[in-house]
């Protein structure tokens, strides 16, 4: 498998991979899928997307033909958001998705991302299992609009961190507990809680 950065010339093949992958992995209406693919990977939208500075768009090739891609953004807080990872159904079962995922994560780390989040629509159990088998934990869910329809997607966070444990507050906010930073309490130490994975914004304390 060869890996390279996506270009505007890839648009038609990217749209085909995305459409076939969505049809194979989700129980979405075919018209919804077609509308979403056109919205995301139409010529103008795709060209504009590739110009965004925070985007990492990687294409996996097999014998010179694109067969999979990953679409990721890097936030100011040092977190990579894996928006999509699609493998054409005709090329599944060969480890392409797993290799693309790991190499995407390597590129993100090289770019300075300390943590990685992934998103999976709630009806894609295969996608959920993919993340969970790699040490990710489900930390939140959110609504997403696809071609005018509202769906739920699960948020997964890379739990393979050195000292950070993610938690979801009662208000549904994701916070980050520093397992090594603590203050003395009368019954047990209190761990420091931050509002971001880089520990720049202190949120409070928690006793584990």
- pTM metric for this prediction: 0.75
- Give the pLDDT confidence of 101-139 residue by residue, as tens digits: 999 989 988 888 877 889 899 888 889 999 988 888 887
Q: How far is Cα 45 from Cα 22, in angstroms, rounded to an integer?
A: 19
Closest Cα partner for 101 from 80, 125, 79? 80
Annotation: CATH topology of 2-160: Aminopeptidase (3.40.630)
The region that residue 112 occupies, defined by phi over 0 for left and psi between -120 and 50 for alpha, beta otherwise, is: left
Q: What backbone phi and psi angles, to 5 degrees, belong to 122?
A: -60, -25
Q: Give me 70's structure tokens.
A: 């990953």
- Give the pLDDT confidence of 141-164 residue by residue, as tens digits: 888 888 888 989 998 887 655 467
Q: How far is Cα 90 from Cα 82, in angstroms, rounded to an integer?
A: 22
Question: Residue 70's beta-bridge partner residues?
Answer: 58, 85
Domain ranges of the chain: 2-160, 162-208
């Amino acid at each position: 498998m060869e890996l390279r950065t996506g270009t505007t010339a890839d648009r038609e093949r990217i749209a085909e991979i995305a459409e076939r992958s969505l049809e194979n992995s989700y129980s979405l209406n075919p018209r919804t899928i077609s509308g979403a693919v056109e919205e995301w990977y139409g010529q103008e939208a795709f060209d504009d997307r590739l110009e965004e500075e925070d985007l990492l768009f990687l294409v996996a090739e097999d014998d010179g033909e694109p067969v999979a891609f990953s679409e990721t953004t890097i936030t100011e807080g040092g977190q990579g958001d894996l928006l999509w990872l699609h493998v054409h159904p005709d090329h599944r079962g060969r480890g392409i998705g797993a290799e693309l995922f790991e190499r995407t994560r390597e590129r993100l780390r090289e770019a300075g991302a300390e943590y990685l989040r992934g998103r999976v629509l709630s009806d894609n159990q295969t996608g959920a299992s993919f993340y969970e088998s790699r040490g990710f934990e489900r930390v939140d869910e959110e609504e997403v609009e696809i071609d005018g329809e509202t769906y739920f997607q699960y948020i997964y966070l890379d739990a393979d961190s050195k000292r950070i444990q993610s938690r979801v507050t009662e208000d549904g906010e994701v916070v980050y507990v520093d397992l090594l930073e603590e203050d003395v309490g009368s019954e047990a130490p209190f761990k420091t809680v931050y509002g971001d994975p880089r520990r720049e914004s202190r949120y409070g304390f928690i006793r584990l």
